[in-house]
Structure 1
Amino acid sequence: MKSLLTRQRRLNPIYLSFMAVSFMVGVAGALQAPTLSLFLTREVQVRPFWVGLFFTINAIAGIAISLLMAKRSDTQGDRRNLILFCCLMAVLNALLFAFNRHYLTLITAGVLLSAIASVAIPQIFALAREYADQSAREVVMFSSVMRAQLSLAWVIGPPLSFALALNYGFVTLFSVAAAIFLLSMVLIWRTLPSVPRVVATPEQVLTQLSPWRDSQVRLLFIASVVMWACNTMYIIDMPLYISATLGLPEKLAGLLMGTAAGLEIPIMLLAGHYARRYGKRPMMLLALVAGILFYLGMVLFTSRTALMALQLFNAAFIGIIAGIGMLWFQDLMPGRAGAATTMFTTSISTGLIIAGLIQGTLSERFGHEAVYWLALVMAIVALLLAARVRDVRT
Structure 2
Amino acid sequence: MLRPIALGIYLLFFAVGLVGALVIPTLSLFLANELNVRPLLVGIPFAGIALASIIYNQSIGYWSDRLADRRPLVSSLCVLGAASCLVFAFSRQYWLVAGVAVVLFSLSMVSFSQLLAYSLDYAERCIPLERIPLYNAVVRAQIAFAWVAGPPAGFLLAAHAGFKVTYCLAAGLFAVVALLVVRFLPRLQAPRPFEETAATKSPTTMAPLSWKPLLLCFCAFSLMWGANNAYLISLPLYLDRELAIGSEWVGWIMGTCALLEVPFMLLSGYLAMRIPVLVMVRFAGIAGLLLYTGVYFSSELWQLFSLQLCNAIFIGVLAGLGVSVIQQLMPGRSGSASALYTNTTHAGALFSSLMVGLVADYWNYQTVFLFNVFLVCLAIAAFAMVRQPAAHPERPA
Q: Same fold (TM over 0.5)?
A: yes
In structure 2, the CA distance between the partners of 1:207 and 1:172, relative to structure 1 (3 Å rule), is same
1:174 pairs with 2:174? no
Please state whether the residue corresponding to 2:92 is helix, strand or coil: coil
Q: How much has 1:91 moved relative to structure 2?
A: 0.6
Alpha-carbon distance between aligned partners in 2 of 1:120 and 1:196, rounded to the nearest angstrom: 21
Within the alignment, does 1:143 sit opposite 2:136 as a pair? yes
Task: Indicate conservation of the 8 Å contact 1:279/1:391, yes or no.
Answer: yes
Provide the C-alpha distance between the structure 2 equivalents of 1:364 and 1:207, rounded to a whole number of angstroms.
Answer: 48
Instruction: Answer yes or no: is 1:304 the counterpart of 2:301.
Output: yes
Q: Which amino acid aligns with 2:51?
A: I
2:230 counterpart (208, 230, 233)? 233
Partner of residue 201, structure 1 = 201
Could you tell me how far 1:201 is from its partner in structure 2? 2.8
Alignment deviations for residues 96-135 of structure 1 (CA, whole Å, 9 cap, x no partner):
1101111211222332111211111111111111112111
103 and 299 in structure 1: CA distance in 2 versus 1, 3 angstrom threshold: same
Rounded Cα–Cα distance in structure 1 between residues aligned with 2:107 and 2:45: 16
Contact 1:207/1:214 (8 A) holds in 2: no
Shift of the 336–43 alpha-carbon distance from structure 1 to 2, 3 Å rule, reads: same
Contact 1:233 1:375 in 2 (8 A): yes
The corresponding residue for 1:4 is none
The residue that corresponds to 2:258 in the other structure is: 261
Tell whether 2:26 aligns with 1:35. yes
Residue 206 of structure 1: how far off its partner (Å): 6.3
1:202-251 superposed Cα distances (whole Å, 9 cap, x missing partner):
8x94666xx6x610000000001100110000000100001110111211
Secondary structure of the residue aligned to 2:25 is: coil
Instruction: State the distance in 1 between where 2:47 and 2:220 align.
Output: 21
| Aligned-partner Cα distance in 2 for 1:98–1:217 | 40
Q: 2: distance between equivalents of 1:128 and 1:98?
A: 31
Q: Is the 8 A contact 2:141 2:262 kept in 1?
A: yes
| Pairing 1:234-383 to 2, within 5 Å after superposition | 234-383=231-380
Does the 8 Å contact 1:125/1:143 carry over to 2? Answer: no
| Contact 1:62–1:114 (8 Å) recurs in 2 | no
- Equivalent residue for 1:75? 66
Q: Which amino acid in the other structure matches residue 172 of structure 2?
A: A
Number of aligned residues: 381
* Cα displacement (A) at 1:339: 0.4
Change (3 A) 1:207 1:235: farther
1:163 aligns with 2:160: no
* 1:78 positional shift: 1.6
Residue 184 of structure 1 aligns with which residue?
A: 177
For the residues of structure 2 that align with 1:366 and 1:56, how far apart are their CA atoms? 23
Counterpart CA distance in 2 for 1:15 and 1:299 is 41
Match of 1:218 in 2: 215
- What residue in structure 2 maps to residue 50 of structure 1? 41
Structure 1: stretches of 5+ with no match in the other structure? 1-7
1:260-297 superposed Cα distances (whole Å, 9 cap, x missing partner): 11111000000000011011011001100000010110
Go from structure 1 to structure 2 and tell me whether the alpha carbon gap of 1:381 and 1:205 turns closer, same or farther (over 3 Å shift). farther
Partner of 1:3: none
Q: Tell me, what secondary structure is at the counterpart of 1:33? A: helix
Q: 2:95 is matched by which residue type in structure 1?
A: L
2:395 maps to: none
Q: Is the 8 A contact 1:66 1:115 kept in 2?
A: no
Question: What's the TM-score, normalizing by structure 2?
Answer: 0.93
1:183-214 deviation line (CA, Å, top 9, x unaligned): 11222122112224545138x94666xx6x61
User: Is 1:93–1:110's contact at 8 Å kept on the other side of the alignment?
Assistant: yes
The alignment-based identity, stated in percent, is: 34
Which residue number in structure 2 is paired with residue 125 of structure 1? 116
Contact 1:96 1:110 in 2 (8 A): no
Contact 2:236 / 2:247 at 8 angstroms: preserved in 1?
yes
Q: State the alpha-carbon separation in 2 of the partners of residues 41 and 207 from structure 1.
A: 49
| Aligned counterpart, 1:152 | 145
Q: Which residue is equivalent to 1:5? A: none
The match for 1:108 among 88, 99, 104 is 99
The 1-side partners of 2:321 and 2:184 are apart by 26
- State the Cα deviation string for residues 133-165 of structure 1 (Å, max 9, x = none): 111343111111110000000000000000000
- Correspondence for 1:61: 52
Q: Could you say what secondary structure the match of 1:219 adopts?
A: helix
Amino acid corresponding to residue 149 of structure 1 in structure 2: Q
Q: Which blocks of at least 5 consecutive residues in structure 2 are unaligned?
A: 393-397
The separation in 1 between residues aligned to 2:111 and 2:387, in whole angstroms, is 29
TM-score (norm 1): 0.94
Amino acid across the alignment from 2:264: I
**Aligned residues of 2:257 and 2:309 also touching (Cα < 8 A):** yes
